[in-house]
Amino acid sequence: MKILITDKTENEVVQQLKDAGQEVTFNEMDPATLLKEIPKYDGLMVRSRTKATADVINAGAKGSLKVIGRAGIGVDNIDLPTASKNKIKVVNAPTGTTESVAELAFGLMLAASRSIPQADHSMKQGLWEKKAFKGVELCGKTLGIIGIGRIGTELGKRALAFNMKVLAYDKYIQKSPTAKIAMVSLEKLLKESDYLSLHIPFVKEEGATIKEPDFEKMKDGVIIINCARGGVVDEQALLKYLNSGKVRAAALDVYAAEPPTFKELVTHPKVVCTPHIGASTKEGQLRAGKICAEQMLLVLSGKTPDFWVNKKMMEGK
């Protein structure tokens, strides 16, 4: 069968598909070309650059498109209802980049606590502002994790190794992944956490999980980390509480609009920013690509994939 890969992918992943007997085309095509070319393919593999829009999927369905693979976690760039309606399976690689994202979130906790990027910037200006960068320790503090799935759990384990107390809240998970992480209500988590890190998807219909009234319930001096999706924290409210001093610092890898248009937040002196690089490690990208390829091969050989994102939608549930 024919597989089109439209976002940068490791040679090993291409080889894996070829070894399984697939004809593979790699081409970072523009949206108009993709629309024209997609009917020729049985499978489309993307990362986050390519947008598998309703038009692209409908065009693919008129040809032989059977599966869309996302070599990563989030499927915001794939129109799931249209894929489901056309019986096109969407698969992803939710286990591929767990460690990469957890490590970035942990790195951002340290960076925000010690103003590492700001201090580096100051040094590069030729300054020696030793007194300006008095930080706070992680040791002995409480980390509140919202969303205790794979990434949240890995972050929690790292925090425990730094002698932090770890609390978690999850709308869907009641049982703690490890005895040392205590499951609590959102209210308790907001009230008791010195650090707050979010690891949940963004559901457009539900809007932000952390909104203005939630900030009021937080501890003074809380540090907020978001490596999940921009929309899960209300950015206007975050700016308001950074300015009031209630929020000591924020470290963000994701934004409501990407690239971010809310410049006041990104340029805020108490904000540490990275350009959505949580999953961007050599190891993570390779693992995600391989898992995605494996999932697509399962679909193309008529088997049920393990990571079938639109299963419920396709089954009408």
Within 248-287, the residues that bind ligand MLT by CB under 6 A are 276, 278-279
Minimal distance, residue 103 CB to ligand MLT, in Å = 13
Residue 47: exposure state from Cβ atoms within 10 A (0-12, 13-18, ≥19): buried
Query: What is the Cα–Cα distance from 98 to 115, expressed in whole angstroms?
Result: 25
Determine which residue in the list 6, 48, 82, 118 makes contact with ligand MLT, applying CB under 6 A: 48
Q: Which of 47, 70, 229, 268 is catalytic?
A: 229
**CA 283/CA 99 separation, integer angstroms:** 9
Q: Using CB under 6 A, pick the residue from 74, 110, 119, 183 that binds ligand MLT.
A: 74
String of DSSP letters for 278-310 = TT-SHHHHHHHHHHHHHHHHHHHTTPPPSSBTT
Q: Is the Cβ of residue 101 or residue 112 nearer to ligand MLT in the bound state? A: 101
Chain residues 95-124 in contact with ligand MLT, contact rule CB under 6 A: 97
Burial 123-157 (b: 16+ CB within 10 A, else e): eeeeeeeeeeeeebebeebbbbbbbbbbbbbbbbb
Q: Active site includes 229?
A: yes
Catalytic residue among 248, 268, 276, 287: 276
Binding residue count for ligand MLT, defined by CB under 6 A: 8
Residues 298, 42: Cα–Cα separation, whole Å: 13
Q: Does 121 qualify as catalytic in the annotation?
A: no
The residue (of 247 and 279) whose beta carbon lies closer to ligand MLT is 279
Pick 111 or 288: Cβ nearer ligand MLT: 288
Measured distance CA(91)–CA(305) in Å, rounded: 7
Using rule CB under 6 A, residue 147 touches ligand MLT: no
From candidates 73, 88, 196, 210, binder to ligand MLT by CB under 6 A:
73
Q: Which residues bind ligand MLT (CB under 6 A)?
A: 48, 72-74, 97, 276, 278-279
Q: Which amino acids are annotated catalytic? A: 229, 258, 276
